[in-house]
Structure 1
Amino acid sequence: MIRTKTRIFTVLAVGMLALAGCTGGGEDPAPSPPAEESAPSDGGGGNSYATEGPVEEDTEETAECKADDSNQDVPAEAPTADAWPDYHGTGVPVSDTYGPTSREGEVWTCFSHSPTGALFAAAYLRPAVASTEVREAYVSDDPKSSEGDFEHPRMQLRGYKITGYDDTAVSVELVYEGATNGESGLVAFPVTVYWEDNQWALHEEDISSVKPHSVTGLSGYTQWSVG
């Protein structure tokens, strides 16, 4: 299925429209999240958004995926991120254990084949799908595109819940905080990743049909954000 640039932009923008619906002056706007919910200090936070040290480029020695697949449990609490490097305005959790253990330019690869690895992959792919390189690498049924990058939405991850899991696919909802008209609000994005060709991948039909929705707090979700 061939996707137009307008269609992708609409999908990327729809979350901010949902956010606008809950904070942008409607008849019943949702309140801004309490400080302890929107910026938790104990939700698996690692270091700051800045990447610590140079990004390791792939070599013959580092090309083999070193992510740890041994823990197949669905995480009962927020996994610890070793850092939260900035990806076009969004902090993305990274882990030496669960991935991505290789970061080269826009494309970050090597996530563990586990529920936690899938969670880290989803948290990266949600903002990264705006990149042409990432779509070519991770959207399994999308043709190569020369349309260029799309606008990267600037929102910060606040929490998640895993809604389905087996060894071939993991479905999660990722809750992001963003701002519109000077007010902040929370938006939940459903994301499903599929284990294909030794990596977690996205399906184009899922991206096109995603339906983010506004939430008023993190009840029912696990808090997960930079500390």
Structure 2
Amino acid sequence: MDRKVAVPFAPTTFGPADRTDVISKCFSHSPSGALIAAAHMLSVAWQDGTAAMVNSYAEESPEKSSVLEVLRSKAKSPPAAVPQITGYRIVMDHQDRARIQMVVAMQDSLVRGLVILEWTGNDWAVDPSTVVTDMGEEIPDLTGYTAWGSPAI
């Protein structure tokens, strides 16, 4: 549990191996490590806002700065009820780029969103260009997704 969101901790295998305050770091360079990293990143976004997630988990770059400006100008309050992850799908574009689709329970519906991660040489980082898109497409069920709590691969 990361404050209010159920996220996995496997510090000796997939991560996070380092946790300070609310920021988790040092995930394994594997599909399972990317999945766990995405869950921890979304936990920060849901509880502290998307700008906090980008600030903590994106590599320093001009793109990160411009995305943060956009996010801060649109600042939304985190959801009143903290979403819980119910399913996922992992697509590895190559060993250093992962597309993680997460399905979350939001009140009476299931909503899917996409998190794109890049391996930075020592950890997974969120691709800041992907977080300003709409992350909330409603779906009827978990068909095509692995239920949260099942092995990643």
- Which residue does the alignment assign to 2:6? 91
Question: CA 1:186/1:116 → structure 2, altered by over 3 Å: closer, same or farther?
Answer: same
Which structure has the larger Rg? 1
- Which residue does the alignment assign to 2:58? 139
Letter in 2 for 1:139: A
1:196 pairs with one of 112, 120, 123 = 120
Residues 75-90 of structure 1 mapped to structure 2, 5 A cutoff: 85-87=1-3, 89-90=4-5
User: What is the percentage of aligned positions where both structures have the same residue?
Assistant: 28
- Which residue does the alignment assign to 2:131? 207
- Which residue does the alignment assign to 2:83? 155
Alignment of 1:185 onto 2:109? yes
TM-score if structure 1 supplies the norm length?
A: 0.53
1:108 pairs with one of 2, 24, 45 = 24
SS of the equivalent of 1:136 reads helix
Structure 1 residue 143: Cα displacement: 2.9
More strand by share: 2
d(CA) in 2 for partners of 1:132, 1:177? 22
Question: CA 1:112/1:196 → structure 2, altered by over 3 Å: closer, same or farther?
Answer: same
1:219 pairs with one of 103, 121, 143 = 143
Alignment of 1:172 onto 2:100? yes
Equivalences, count: 136
d(CA) in 1 for partners of 2:17, 2:76? 25
Residue segments in structure 2 that go unaligned for 5+ positions in a row:
none
Question: CA 1:143/1:103 → structure 2, altered by over 3 Å: closer, same or farther?
Answer: same
Please, what is the CA RMSD of the aligned residues?
Answer: 2.6
Asked if the contact 1:173–1:188 (Cα under 8 Å) also holds between the matched residues in 2, the reply is yes
Asked if the contact 1:100–1:111 (Cα under 8 Å) also holds between the matched residues in 2, the reply is yes
d(CA) in 1 for partners of 2:52, 2:112? 25
Structure 1 residue 175: Cα displacement: 0.5
Residues 17-96 of structure 1 mapped to structure 2, 5 A cutoff: 85-87=1-3, 89-96=4-11
SS of the equivalent of 2:109 reads strand
Deviations 1:108-153 (A, max 9, x none): 1110011110011111112313276543231223239796x96333
Deviations 1:174-204 (A, max 9, x none): 010021xxxx111011111111141111122
Residue segments in structure 1 that go unaligned for 5+ positions in a row:
1-84
Deviations 1:140-173 (A, max 9, x none): 23239796x9633310011101133311100021
SS of the equivalent of 2:42 reads helix
More helix by share: 2
Asked if the contact 2:5–2:84 (Cα under 8 Å) also holds between the matched residues in 1, the reply is yes
SS of the equivalent of 2:129 reads helix
